[in-house]
Structure 1
Amino acid sequence: MPPPILVPATVSDYRREAQRRLPTFLFDYLDGAAGEEVSLQRNEADFRAIQLEQRVLRDVSAIDTGVDLFGTHLDMPVVLAPIGMGGMMARRAEVLAKRAADAAGIDMCLSTVGICSVEEVSAVSGRPIWFQLYMLRDRGVVQELLDRAWASGVRTLTFTVDLPVVGARYRDVRNGMAGGTSALGRFRAGLGSYLMHPRWLWDVGIRGAPHSFGNLAAYVPGAASPNQFKAWVDKQFDPSTDWNDIAWLRSVWKGHLLLKGILNAEDAVNAVDQGADGIIVSNHGGRQLDGVASGIAVLPEIAAAVSGRCTLLVDGGVRNGQDVVKALALGAQAVMVGRPWVYAVAARGEAGLKTWLSAMKNDMRTAFALTGIRTVADIDRSMIRQGL
């Protein structure tokens, strides 16, 4: 394994350091995707292929990367995406993410299957978090989760629509996380990896307990490990979910409603027609159907289809501030970032995530200055080099 990096400068640096610190099965769960991971690779490659148009001799002495989103001001148009089992990557990682997001002046979205509960994360500060939800078979649990989120101050709900079934994630199969091996086999495989990562074992494995899915602990009382919670959740995903369920959700949720996981213009129009306030253009980080388009590739056609009727975000492949500018130029109002924030917090804790978010903002400021713009409102399609 390569030597440690003294000062991480890129997401790749944090990823490499996270790989050194995490047990193999956890790193692969975080880092991996569906199938042969074609869509995962495409997410980043499609961003790299987009070229910005550099402009010179413009007054860029006063740059402002801020934006207003769903009634809240963000110091940059970035939201930390929901990550399942995030709290297994660093001790109470979702709480650390909330602190880092607060320091950066941005929002974070907590996963239904995060280790920390909505109550624990919301207690960090008075700035509300977003909450991500699946349509579970037990609609009573869904309603209770909505009620708990609202009571915790959540006003922006992100509803994931691209998970009627779980994608074929081969790395999880190989590690036994997707089943196919005995509990003893999983324990032995995990034990070897734990012993090779004593820092994680002490800091997260021992000091980071409880390792339950905090939002679901009351509904799976017999579960004692994240794998047991995950098995319950996998059985709860409801393949019968359709647009009628979105209409029901819209009727019971009084806050902002975003649908996450849309890659098709017709689906985007349906989402708006059902009352969605926002759409997150996403292929679930490549973790569901391998071989589909990246979010950034289909963003322009979805932006054209909804024509300003809702707020658009995009995720998947965002790795730096230049990528944020590219996404906004192609029709998004903000981006979500998932793996990068977890790499950073796994590698260097809260301080590492704060440093990376600061670097993201500096990247954005550099991109603003060298493309000749001063505010988010100045960003448009002309910033993308045409004819490529």
Structure 2
Amino acid sequence: MVQRQFPKPLELLELMQFKKPELNGTKRRLDAAYTINDLRTIAKRRTPKAAFDYTDGAAEGETSLARARQAFQDVEFHPDVLRPAADVDTSVEILGGPSALPFGIAPTGFTRLMQTEGEVAGAGAAGAAGIPFTLSTLGTTSIENVKAANPNGRNWFQLYVMRDREISYELARRAGAAGFDTLQFTVDTPVAGARLRDKRNGFSIPPQLTLGTIINAIPRPWWWIDFLTTPKLEFASLSATGGTVGDLLNAAMDPTISYEDLKVIREIWPGKIVIKGVQNVEDSKRLIDHGVDGIILSNHGGRQLDRAPIPFHLLPTVVREVGKDATVMVDTGIMNGADIVASIALGAKFTLIGRAYLYGLMAGGRAGVDKTIEILRSEIERTMKLLGVASIAELEPRHVTQLTRLAPMPRQDV
């Protein structure tokens, strides 16, 4: 029989521990976020549909993005036991400089559309965390202002080759003069992908006030207050600012981009140059032969060619073929620090986050980006400790198995 008694007042008081209410709404929301998906939920609630869908969506049926994320979920880790890892070292050397974590912030366009602090928040948070920040050609903060926001940290610049080549060349020169140390030369956007969410939303830059956007804005007045009381949303480096996203991209990009363009950019750029958007082994080898410092396995976050190869699946083969000759990095689909650990274990020297950073930005501005980095840092450290790994250098392919969900059929060469 269980012995029962009347509750003792002092014991009840010990149980009644009430938290002090948090009056800062942003801090209260971010304190309740434990994962990147939590930040996404907050971002969706606080951001107008068109802006959120621009960030969250991908091309056509969004199959590439779904597969990329599934590939990370289909990872099996193999921990070592009785291997003390009480303290872990997450730092790496990447492209001639340090990074406190094995990831940096990827280039994103129209960033101030998501939240008015935009690239300034991203660059400041990256600098504080000791990781690189990448500014997009289609950014909404100038090269010089990003440098001012992250004066002592590492800034990288992402370059599109446009129809008017001199615009691209001048941007590269400006970034080099401002002390940006690495150029991401993007090669997977000869034309714009079919981003159907944007078309269905009638999404344009700048956003247009219609009956639909006004109705959608009613529960999100804070976003519109920020939008209407801050400097005009426009590209910081380009003059064209009107039209749908597809119109703007098609006007700026050029399907005739070739290795000749890479040669010219290589001559202009004073620092490290990496090629972003590589999607097969053959191109990886060819690019290394052309003297680039690294490649980023990427399908542009699933926003260009739908059903493109999964970068994480390509990683082991590409590392085996060219990893000794150049720095291999990976992006697309990263939503957890464990995704980053798995990528490093399979040979990537570095990873880049795009949407994860933007979810944090939309959820809470600069504080939200800090929260993104904090979440990923915690997940990386916890995963390493559970694997029995004390440093990034100790991660090896044996720690990871890529489980097979999609297996190619034998090719029939006719």
Q: CA RMSD in A?
A: 2.1
Which position in structure 2 is the counterpart of 1:249?
265
Matched, 1:168 2:211: no
User: d(CA) in 1 for partners of 2:346 and 2:207?
Assistant: 50
Match 2:72 to one of 47, 50, 56: 47
Which position in structure 1 is the counterpart of 2:393?
377
Query: CA, structure 1 residues 387+135, in 2 after alignment: closer, same or farther (shift >3 Å)?
Result: closer
Where in structure 2 are the equivalents of 1:77-116 lying within 5 Å? 77-116=102-141
Does the 8 Å CA contact 1:44/1:318 hold for their aligned counterparts?
yes
Show structure 2 runs of 5+ residues with no match.
1-28, 405-414
For 1:120, the aligned partner's letter is N
Does the 8 Å CA contact 1:315/1:337 hold for their aligned counterparts?
yes
Which position in structure 2 is the counterpart of 1:158?
184
Matched, 1:209 2:234: no
User: d(CA) in 2 for partners of 1:122 and 1:20?
Assistant: 31
For 1:94, the aligned partner's letter is E
Deviation at 1:232?
Answer: 4.0
Task: Name the TM-score, length of structure 1 as normaliser.
Answer: 0.92
Which position in structure 2 is the counterpart of 1:358?
374
Does the 8 Å CA contact 2:192/2:249 hold for their aligned counterparts?
no
User: d(CA) in 1 for partners of 2:120 and 2:376?
Assistant: 20
Does the 8 Å CA contact 1:213/1:229 hold for their aligned counterparts?
no
Does the 8 Å CA contact 1:130/1:155 hold for their aligned counterparts?
yes
Name the SS of the counterpart of 1:51 in structure 2: strand
Which position in structure 2 is the counterpart of 1:348?
364
CA distances 1:21-54 after superposition (whole Å, capped 9, x unpaired): 1111111110000111111111110001011102
Deviation at 1:228?
Answer: 6.8
User: d(CA) in 2 for partners of 1:178 and 1:171?
Assistant: 12
Which position in structure 2 is the counterpart of 1:194?
217
Deviation at 1:114?
Answer: 1.2
Query: CA, structure 1 residues 210+101, in 2 after alignment: closer, same or farther (shift >3 Å)?
Result: same
Match 2:250 to one of 212, 234, 249: 234
Name the SS of the counterpart of 1:123 in structure 2: helix
Deviation at 1:375?
Answer: 0.9
Does the 8 Å CA contact 1:18/1:347 hold for their aligned counterparts?
yes
Deviation at 1:236?
Answer: 2.0
Match 1:295 to one of 281, 295, 311: 311
243-252 or 89-98, which deviates more: 243-252
Question: How many residues of Structure 1 are paired with residues of Structure 2 in the alignment?
Answer: 375
Name the SS of the counterpart of 1:135 in structure 2: coil
CA distances 1:192-213 after superposition (whole Å, capped 9, x unpaired): 333342010012x123322011
User: d(CA) in 2 for partners of 1:172 and 1:293?
Assistant: 23
For 1:285, the aligned partner's letter is G
User: d(CA) in 2 for partners of 1:352 and 1:147?
Assistant: 32
Does the 8 Å CA contact 1:117/1:214 hold for their aligned counterparts?
yes
Which position in structure 2 is the counterpart of 1:128?
154
User: d(CA) in 1 for partners of 2:115 and 2:403?
Assistant: 44
Does the 8 Å CA contact 2:193/2:246 hold for their aligned counterparts?
no
Name the SS of the counterpart of 1:168 in structure 2: coil
Query: CA, structure 1 residues 113+185, in 2 after alignment: closer, same or farther (shift >3 Å)?
Result: closer
Where in structure 2 are the equivalents of 1:5-20 lying within 5 Å? 7-20=32-45
Name the SS of the counterpart of 2:64 in structure 1: helix
Name the SS of the counterpart of 1:164 in structure 2: coil
Task: Name the TM-score, length of structure 2 as normaliser.
Answer: 0.86
User: d(CA) in 2 for partners of 1:46 and 1:270?
Assistant: 26
Which position in structure 2 is the counterpart of 1:311?
327
User: d(CA) in 1 for partners of 2:157 and 2:353?
Assistant: 15
User: d(CA) in 1 for partners of 2:168 and 2:86?
Assistant: 49
For 1:31, the aligned partner's letter is D
Does the 8 Å CA contact 1:250/1:274 hold for their aligned counterparts?
no
Matched, 1:23 2:23: no
User: d(CA) in 2 for partners of 1:135 and 1:148?
Assistant: 15
User: d(CA) in 2 for partners of 1:196 and 1:358?
Assistant: 29
Match 1:60 to one of 85, 93, 97: 85
Query: CA, structure 1 residues 289+301, in 2 after alignment: closer, same or farther (shift >3 Å)?
Result: same
Does the 8 Å CA contact 1:278/1:312 hold for their aligned counterparts?
yes
User: d(CA) in 1 for partners of 2:193 and 2:127?
Assistant: 33
User: d(CA) in 1 for partners of 2:352 and 2:368?
Assistant: 18
Deviation at 1:6?
Answer: 6.0
Which position in structure 2 is the counterpart of 1:338?
354
Deviation at 1:293?
Answer: 2.1
Does the 8 Å CA contact 2:30/2:363 hold for their aligned counterparts?
no
User: d(CA) in 2 for partners of 1:53 and 1:184?
Assistant: 48
User: d(CA) in 2 for partners of 1:188 and 1:57?
Assistant: 62
